[in-house]
Chain A
Amino acid sequence: MNPVAEAPAIRRPAPPAPAAHGGDDAHGGHHEPESFWRRYVFSTDHKMIAKQYLFTGVFMALVGGFLAQLMRVQLASPGAEIPGMGAMHAGQYNTYVTMHGTTMIFWVAMPLLLGAFGNFLIPLMIGAKDMAFPRLNMLSYWTFALSTVVLLGSFFVPGGASPVGWTAYPPLSANPQYSGNVWGVHLWILAVALEMVAFLMGGINYITTAINLRAPGMRMKDLPLILWMQIVASVIFLFSAGPLVAGAVMLLLDRTAGTGFYNPAAGGDPLLFQHLFWFFGHPEVYVLLLPGLGIVAEILPVFSRKPVFGYKMILWSTIATGLLSFVVWAHHQFVSGIDPRLAAPFSLTTILISVPVAVTLFSFIATLWKGSIEFTTAMLFALGMIAVFLIGGVTGILNGSAAADIYIHDTYFVVAHFHYALIPPVFFGFFAGIYYWYPKMFGRMMNETLGKLHFWGTTIFVNVTFLPMFVMGLRGYPRRVYDPTQFSSLGDMTLMQILATVGTAGLLLSQVPLLINFFGSLRWGKVAGPNPWRANTLEWAAPSPPPHGNFAAQPSVYRWPYEYSAPGRAEDWHPQHLPSGAAAEGSRS
């Protein structure tokens, strides 16, 4: 059907005739058969690039999870022989700590949430054929791939990968004499800088695409919330990445060219790096949180068959969160030696961020009110994201209070807190998104039984792993210590260490059903059809999986994305691209 030919929609004037569509230069309207290389490797198709990010991110998640398990085995039984690796020494432990954190933030969370979902969803949800700059998009992925090779390669250089922590504070990171590591840290800096460049290119593309290539009739306030959150996350990233890259380049110069940006003997200051790092590092938390929340915002209405509650409130609180995230960074430095008069203002801004985040979470919870909730795996992960993230949210207040932070800073309490703050958006959000959009990505349904096994295993073992760490932290145990028997004055923590290690093992094993489900469903999953969830957003108007170019005909948009169970309508959903009065396609019959 061609919506443009229909009578004007009730809620708005007739959409303009489909204009010549942007982003066509890389692939004209007609598609010739593509070679293997053009199709799977050097693809400019946003969906293929999304899958490249997806598979790279999943692979790196396995690497990061493996590193975590190595640390946990050492902590549960210090000095134990690890099959094939022998007993771990302190330097190796520091390397695993560093590379686990680095991998999970930069090479897992970023590619999965922004690289995969941002790429896949932005053009589809606005009714575009591709990104605004498809070649830049390809360059973004291949820069990221290069950064991945550099990072993984650093394990194999003399001295091994970086042992100086994912925050890479100088002088330890600036001076090979202190860390005993030359090439690992060099390559770490290079890899992080390349990764930043990749996502800067991605971010420019996301923002441009979402603003300029919207389908006829689609106003900014018709954007699904996940796109708003991707846009805000990209803007935060664009504004915060510069200082980090500058800081990293100065660090590299200190290491290689004899400069003294961070060297007090040469007039530099180690604290400068901390400011540059956290000016990026804290907004980065929201770069990861927002897309995770966005996924939840899409899934809750579909599986409770209700509009999202308070679209505008969520939108404004998202923007407020983004703005506030730029003025909280020094809460990472309460004990670092910054001027003590700075503590109160940074405490205030940090704790105030609870208000916009609460607006969003409460709106999500209110979305369930008077709904009709279907517990698909996607919905379970979305609900689990809220339930688990609340733990990370409330414990953040303790860290945000400068005086309380004196005690818990750099203890296991902080480790527990930021895992509870990051695992829900990054992993629960990612899993929810995968179960929800897999049919669109691959054209087949995933298995719900395996999905529920995955959900319950993940949820239980996340808590088995990280709840004991709150207790260890409150007892005063510092993080990044490779032998937990060293500080006997803090009491015996063996039991909690073992519990946390069992939890990590369980968490990793719980991902087996996902991997079986993911790859098995490619072949054996039920064929999905274009709109298996009876959802409103535009991606469900395209075939599953969408072909190169996405839509058979340019869709127009007639309403906001959350029109579920509208009064006076036979179907309980009303796709954005359907003119009023037309029946929805693909109803379950």
Chain B
Amino acid sequence: MPDWLPVAASTYAKDIDGLIWLITAIVGVWFVIAEVVLFYLIFRYRRRAGVKPEYVDGSRKKQIAWILVPCAAILACDLVIDAASARVWDEMKLTNPKPHMTVRVDGRQWAWDLTNPGPDRVLDTSDDITLLNELHVPAGEVVRFELRSRDTLHSLWVPELRLKQDAVPGRTFRGWFEATRPGEYGILCAELCGVAHGVMKGTLIVHESSGYENWLRSAQAQAPAAAAPAPATAPATAPATVPATAPAGGSVAR
């Protein structure tokens, strides 16, 4: 059963998986109890000749307790789940670990423009590297991302990192992740963004840290070609009738 979830490839992936299994275990127990009692009563009190039902209306204190005591236990379970959930959420969203570098993710119909800061590790300088649908990061380092959209909503979705965040035009979202396993992972769009939403995909390449430096040097060598801004026209999958260029003013930071 656990292998239903994809491989966990970020620091907080384990925490989210742990939370999912904790909740599944708790609600699973309640689910089994409720179904077993339901089916037992259905079987036990099926109509039989000569057996009369009893007038039980659940208005006595003792009878009310049969319902309210289990529901108090559910309340306790709810609070446990809430606490565990808030702990994981806070770690992901409200802490701000010191980053190794910041990358920029721009969603548009129907591609990701992905910008690495280059060797100086500072965005918006001349050595930035912008690639179409391809992002390179080192493993074992905290990477901050700035997420924007140029047109409609998109959602940055890397299942193996357990990372999902909507991109909203007019806003810049800042988040972080720390990839733990080198490899190639799909970058999907998880928010309906128009006709080619289903093929909007990129690749996240997580390098060993020395591999990342190597990639950076080779990318830098081809800089003139690679650093050219990604074409603003739609990918081949987009129908010609739908213009994919973004209107002005789509990327104002808040």
Contacts and interface: CB of A to CB of B under 8 A. Distances in A.
Interface string A333-365: 001110011011001100110110011011101
A371 B53 contact: yes
Contacts, number: 302
B153 A304 contact: no
A432 to B, nearest CB: 15
Contacts of B239: 91, 180
A340 B94 contact: yes
B193 interface: yes
Interface stretch (A138-146, A473-481, A531-539, A546-554): A473-481
A478 B157 contact: yes
B243 interface: yes
Given A163-B195, A169-B192, A358-B74, A343 B93 contact: yes
Interface stretch (B39-47, B118-126, B211-219): B39-47
Contacts of A163: 195
Interface string B161-196: 011111011110100000000001110111111111
Contact of B153 (A169, A374, A395, A409): A169
Contacts of A387: 35, 38-39
Given A387-B35, A390-B34, A394-B30, A180 B165 contact: no
Contacts of B5: 474-476
A565 B85 CA distance: 47
B197 to A, nearest CB: 6
Contacts of B201: 486-487
Contact of A354 (B39, B74, B90, B93): B74
A312 B201 CA distance: 53
A372 B51 contact: yes
A364 B23 CA distance: 25
Interface residue range, chain A: 35 or more
Nearest to B54: A370
A111 interface: no
Contacts of B88: 403-404
A355 B74 CA distance: 7
Contact of B16 (A361, A365, A404, A471): A404
B97 interface: no
A304 B92 contact: no
Interface residues of B, number: 98
A478 B156 CA distance: 11
A95 B38 CA distance: 40
Contact of B168 (A336, A487, A566): A336
Contacts of B151: 171, 178
**Most chain B CB within a 10 A radius of its CB, from A313, A358, A372, A401:** A401
Given A337-B168, A394-B28, A306 B54 contact: yes
Contacts of A475: 4-6, 159
Given A341-B94, A490-B159, A370 B247 contact: no
Given A179-B242, A483-B198, A562-B57, 12 more contacts: A177-B243, A269-B170, A306-B56, A307-B58, A313-B68, A344-B90, A367-B58, A369-B41, A373-B45, A394-B28, A395-B27, A401-B81
15 contacts: A94-B192, A94-B194, A169-B191, A172-B153, A311-B57, A312-B59, A351-B81, A368-B41, A368-B42, A371-B53, A387-B35, A404-B23, A407-B164, A410-B190, A475-B5
Interface of A: 90-91, 93-94, 97, 163-165, 169, 171-172, 175, 177-180, 264-265, 269-271, 304-313, 335-337, 340-341, 343-344, 347-348, 351-352, 354-355, 358-359, 361-363, 365-375, 383, 386-387, 390-391, 394-395, 397-398, 401-404, 406-411, 471, 474-476, 478, 480-483, 486-487, 489-491, 562, 564-567, 572
